[in-house]
């Protein structure tokens, strides 16, 4: 894809699901990939899969809720590959669905720290590195829960709404500096988290998708990589739903 060969990409939450699929797609397009994840075994597996396919990757352990670790991930990209061209802030967490009054402060704080503060910390350290490289692009992974209500998941929905606010603000701040910032909003995706649900729970989620199935991680990765490519060179501050038609019901 145009503009990705011999570039460097940092992806958080790259140990599985959307993050792993995105790492593999960037590598296939010729980018070196920094695989960041809190799970070392999962992250190293992604690196192995990238390298087995002929790509270049390195792993760094990161808890995005700790800004110093986000900074260290960016430094790893710069020290290992000489700079940073793209970043994908994908790492996220959630809670067991319960009504808003039943959410614990602990669950609220952890979800917000990872999903919202973690994206802010990524932007804080990624943007200066992109500016130093002469520009680039960032994609933040929000959710359809970030553009509409999500009963039972108030911390998750609130944090994902926050990701969109961060995306739009950063996009405006750096639009004239060669740094584009966009967000994707996936619906239910066929990730390991989906497989842990009961068949009844999965069916209930898929019922809301007009296309009648979850998205494949690769389908989200395709959109992320496209937004970073030169083919999307005049797109910034955009929120792209990837929802199988659910947003137009």
**Section 205-222 average pLDDT:** 90
CA distance 190 to 92: 15
Cβ–Cβ contacts within 10 Å for residue 212, how many?
9
| pTM of the model as a whole | 0.95
Per-residue pLDDT, 227: 98
Alpha helices (runs of H) in the chain, residue ranges in sequence order: 17-28, 40-52, 67-81, 105-112, 118-132, 154-174, 192-195, 199-206, 217-228
Burial 123-141 (b: 16+ CB within 10 A, else e): bebbbebbeebeebbbbbb
Q: Indicate whether 133 pLDDT > 90.
A: yes
Per-residue pLDDT, 80: 98
Cβ–Cβ contacts within 10 Å for residue 76, how many?
19
Confirm whether 3 is domain-assigned.
Answer: no
Q: Indicate whether 223 pLDDT > 80.
A: yes
CA distance 19 to 160: 17
CA distance 87 to 242: 19
Q: Lowest-pLDDT range, 22-26, 53-57, 210-214, 241-245?
A: 210-214
Strands 136-141 and 8-12: unpaired
Confirm whether 154 is domain-assigned.
Answer: yes
Confirm whether 114 is domain-assigned.
Answer: yes
Confirm whether 35 is domain-assigned.
Answer: yes
Active site positions, annotated:
156
> How many structural domains comprise the chain?
1
Confirm whether 51 is domain-assigned.
Answer: yes
CA distance 26 to 1: 9
Q: Indicate whether 201 pLDDT > 80.
A: no
Confirm whether 118 is domain-assigned.
Answer: yes
Q: Domain span at residue 127?
A: 8-239
Confirm whether 249 is domain-assigned.
Answer: no
Residue 197 CB contacts under 8 Å (≥ 6 apart), including other chains: 205
Q: Which CATH number covers residue 36?
A: 3.40.50.720
Confirm whether 248 is domain-assigned.
Answer: no
Q: Indicate whether 222 pLDDT > 80.
A: yes
Q: Lowest-pLDDT range, 8-17, 141-150, 194-203?
A: 194-203
pLDDT band, residue 188 (cuts 50/70/90): confident
pLDDT tens for 65-104 read 999 999 999 999 999 999 999 999 999 999 888 999 999 9
Q: Kindly report the backbone phi and psi dihedral angles of residue 138, in degrees, each rounded to the nearest multiple of 5, phi listed first.
A: -130, 140
What percent of the chain has a predicted confidence (pLDDT) above 90?
A: 81
Helix axes 217-228, 17-28, angle to 10 degrees: 50
């Amino acid at each position: 894809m145009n503009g990705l060969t011999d570039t460097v990409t940092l992806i958080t939450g790259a140990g599985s699901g959307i993050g792993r699929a995105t790492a593999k797609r960037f590598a296939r397009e010729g980018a070196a990939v920094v695989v960041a994840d809190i799970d070392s075994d999962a992250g190293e597996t992604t690196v192995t899969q990238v390298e087995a396919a002929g790509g270049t990757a390195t792993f760094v352990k990161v808890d995005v809720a700790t800004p110093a670790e986000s900074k260290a991930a960016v430094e790893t990209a710069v020290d290992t590959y000489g700079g940073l061209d793209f970043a994908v802030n994908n790492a996220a967490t959630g809670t067991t669905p319960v009504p808003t009054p039943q959410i614990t402060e602990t669950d609220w704080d952890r979800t917000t720290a990872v999903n919202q503060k973690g994206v802010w910390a990524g932007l804080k350290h990624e943007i200066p590195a992109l500016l130093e490289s002469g520009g680039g692009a960032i994609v933040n992974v929000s959710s359809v829960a970030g553009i509409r209500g999500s009963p039972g998941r108030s911390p998750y929905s609130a944090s994902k709404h926050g990701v969109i606010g961060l995306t739009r603000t950063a996009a405006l701040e750096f639009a004239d500096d060669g740094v584009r910032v966009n967000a994707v909003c996936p619906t239910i995706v066929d990730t390991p988290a989906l497989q842990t649900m009961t068949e009844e729970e999965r069916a209930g989620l898929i019922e809301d998708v007009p296309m009648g199935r979850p998205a494949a991680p690769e389908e989200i990765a395709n959109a992320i990589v496209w937004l970073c490519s030169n083919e999307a060179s005049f797109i910034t501050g955009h929120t792209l739903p990837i929802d199988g038609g659910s947003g137009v019901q």
